[in-house]
Amino acid sequence: MKKINREDMLELTRRMTLKRNCFGRIAGAYFDDSGFLDGTFNTHFLKLSQREREEKLGIAKAIPFSETNVNLKAYSFLPEQEKSGSIWQLLMGLRECELKNDAMLEILYELIGEKCSIGMDFAVYIFYGGYDIPRKGKDGESQWESEEVYRFLIGALCPVSGDYEPGPPECGFLFPAFSERSEDIHGIHIFQRNAEHPNREFCRLLTE
């Protein structure tokens, strides 16, 4: 299993603030305690109210900001796991369409609802973002020129209460993996809030 560089994750989180927002779109679904779909939404991130943007940024940021190689671990896809109809193909498609394909999102929601129910009402939030990776000089300082644009998805599964008020993420993912300041489309970072008792169904869904 590859190790995640903590500095790579911190670099991403610095673009997850109200002033330096890297997200273009957010989609999500709400489920009851049995995993049945209650409703969905899909909108441009900046169309959220300031309070909602701040709340959702906190949820997204919790994934890469978590303790690397403990709560956030790196996984690799085998060639046979990248075939047609795989979860890898679905995530790649959602990234390419920037979350603008509701049919593909529905497939993801159905898989999560069927396989990853947590015994309480919960929500799934999917974020699409882009990070223009600045080039670093020989002295290690960032320069204005960019080397590549890292386009990525963050997913978070959160318990909800009341009027769909979300709690901290129980599990989540960052796809593609961000390794050595570049994308790795053959990898994914998976977050588990409880590292000692992870949601194994969620992990299996994303890696098998």
CA angle, corner 167, sides to 164 and 170, nearest 5? 120
Does residue 29 sit within a domain? yes
Does residue 1 sit within a domain? no
Note the pLDDT tens digit of each residue in 65-103.
Answer: 999 999 999 999 999 999 999 999 999 999 999 999 999
Instruction: Tell me the pLDDT of the chain averaged across its residues.
Output: 93
Domain count of the fold of the chain: 1
Does residue 90 sit within a domain? yes
Note the pLDDT tens digit of each residue in 101-156.
Answer: 999 999 999 999 999 878 899 999 999 999 999 877 655 555 556 678 999 999 99
Q: Are 25 and 127 in contact (CB under 8 A)?
A: yes
Q: How far apart are CA 78 and CA 63, in angstroms?
A: 23
- Structural domain harbouring 50: 6-17+24-134+142-207
Does residue 200 sit within a domain? yes
Percent of the chain topping pLDDT 70: 95
Output the pLDDT for position 69.
Answer: 97
65 CB-side CA count, 13 A: 14
Output the pLDDT for position 143.
Answer: 52
Does residue 57 sit within a domain? yes
Q: Which two tokens stand for residue 13?
A: 């989180």
Does residue 197 sit within a domain? yes
Q: How confident is the model at residue 60 (pLDDT cuts 50, 70, 90)?
A: very high
Residue with structure tokens 């969905």?
Answer: 40
Output the pLDDT for position 138.
Answer: 55
Q: How far apart are CA 92 and CA 204, in angstroms?
A: 18
Does residue 48 sit within a domain? yes
